[in-house]
Structure formats: C-alpha cells, structure tokens
Amino acid sequence: MRVLIVVLLLVLALLQFKLWFGEGGYRDIASLQARVEAQTAENEMLGARNEELRAEVDDLRERLEAIEERARSELGLIRDGETFYQVVPEGESAPPALDEDGGA
C-alpha cells in the first residue's frame, strides 16, 4: 500500500510540475494572454489611425476646399492674384526671393 501511495504522489508531483512549468502550462498561457492583450491594444490604435486616414481621404475626395487648404499649408502654394508675404524674425536672414516664373 505504501508503494502505491508513493507512486501516486510522484505522479501527482509530475503532473503539477507539467501544469506549472511544462509546455502549454500555466506560464505559457499567461505569456500568451499578455501577448494577445498587447496585440489587441495595438490593433485598436491602428484601427483608430486607419479611421482618421479614411476620413481624411474622403474629405479630400469630396471637398475642393480641403485640397486647397492642404496645398497652402503643406506646399506653400498661393492663388493667382494673391501676394505672398514672409515675415522673418530679426537676426535671421531671409531666403532669396523668387521671380515670376519660380526661379531665383
């Protein structure tokens, strides 16, 4: 009877060891859950970014004003008949002026 109890205790210890430290055990599951949570958070962030970009694309497709605004702010373009003034803070040198055809 003692041999049976010892064998059963050894089997129990082996199963517990596998449960906690073996492949597919508690540690592996905990690390996988952490990776899933991190990936879910990243997916949500990227989904929000995609929605912002989709809204911007829709805005550019539908509104001429959005295209003009972007051309003015990012490319520094002006309309025909407008005059461009650049204010240079004291102590800085102004860039060379451009003539009518865009050359220096």
Range of the structural domain that residue 47 is part of: 25-76
Number of domains in the chain: 1
pLDDT in tens, 60-73: 888 888 888 888 88
Average pLDDT for 66-92: 83
| C-alpha span between 76 and 70 (Å, rounded) | 9
Average pLDDT for 18-25: 76
Average pLDDT for 25-38: 90
Q: pLDDT-based confidence at 101, cuts 50/70/90?
A: low
| pTM, entire model | 0.48
Query: Quick one: which of 41, 59, 40, 62 has its CA closest to 51?
Result: 59
Q: Is residue 68 part of a domain?
A: yes
Q: Evaluate if residue 100 carries a pLDDT over 70.
A: no
Q: Is residue 5 part of a domain?
A: no
Q: Is residue 35 part of a domain?
A: yes
